[in-house]
Amino acid sequence: MKRRFRAPSPALVISLIALFVALGGTSYAAIHLPKNSVGAKQLKKNAVTGTKIKKGAVTAGKINTSGLVVPNAVHATSAGSAAPSGAAGGALTGSYPNPTLAPIEAWHEVGAAGEPAFQNSWTNFGNGYTSMAFAKDSLGFVHLKGTVTGGTFLAPVFTLPAGYRPAQNLFMPVAEQIGALVLTTGEVEIEQEGANTNAGFDGTSFKAG
């Protein structure tokens, strides 16, 4: 007995055609996608992860740095313009943002209580002239003043304490064309010039060593 071949139903034929078209279209799309046809709208959120990006594929020129936020550095963009605040220190006095240069300390009067003593018969000249003294400013410069008389030349007038001494021996001119010596030992001396017995230190200064 011969079997009769039954033609597929129209519904089955349509289903098969649709399946073939769908499969063929997917393969075509995978191989023949037009350039720039996949954009932000076609990508699912979080679909592109670090493991799917080839190493070195994304360069600095492809990154919009204006939208980046570094963890724990929210204020990094404004840190460079931050002004100091609080009390000033060192060579400055007052407080920020308007500190001023610290003033020179009070004069240390030679021969006064608690200060270096005159040596080798030297004394203040008096008669309205400045008294022998020294002081250091906030930048570390030592200043001398005073007019002395009556002592032994090339012998200490007085000795500067530690912190007020130069790093090297100094030879400086003083009044009456007499040279003054300020030694690293702290000794301040005067050279003899003829019959002169007086010498002035006003305006003399040096950097403490």
In a domain, 164, yes or no: yes
Global confidence as pTM: 0.49
Instruction: Tell me if 145 sits within 8 A of 128, measured CB to CB.
Output: no
Distance CA 93, CA 104 (A): 11
Burial of 156 (0-12, 13-18, 19+ CB in 10 A): buried
Tokens 């003054």 locate to 180
The predicted structure's pLDDT at residue 192: 67
In a domain, 188, yes or no: yes
Interacting residues of 22 by C-beta distance below 8 A, sequence separation 6+: none
The predicted structure's pLDDT at residue 147: 85
In a domain, 72, yes or no: no
Instruction: Tell me if 165 sits within 8 A of 186, measured CB to CB.
Output: yes
Give me the number of domains the chain comprises.
1
Helix (H) or strand (E) holding 19: helix 10-31
Distance between terminal CA atoms of the chain? 128
| CATH number, domain containing residue 174 | 2.60.40
In a domain, 96, yes or no: no
In a domain, 148, yes or no: yes
Helix (H) or strand (E) holding 100: strand 100-101
Distance CA 85, CA 190 (A): 48
143 pairs with which residues across the strands?
Answer: 135, 205
Distance CA 124, CA 59 (A): 79
In a domain, 6, yes or no: no
In a domain, 36, yes or no: no
The predicted structure's pLDDT at residue 84: 75
In a domain, 37, yes or no: no
Averages of pLDDT over each 10 residues, the chain, 209 residues: 63 66 54 64 70 72 67 58 68 71 88 96 88 91 90 91 92 66 84 67 77
Instruction: Tell me if 152 sits within 8 A of 118, measured CB to CB.
Output: no
The predicted structure's pLDDT at residue 153: 83
Distance CA 27, CA 132 (A): 104
Amino acid at position 40, single letter: A
Domain that holds residue 122: 108-207
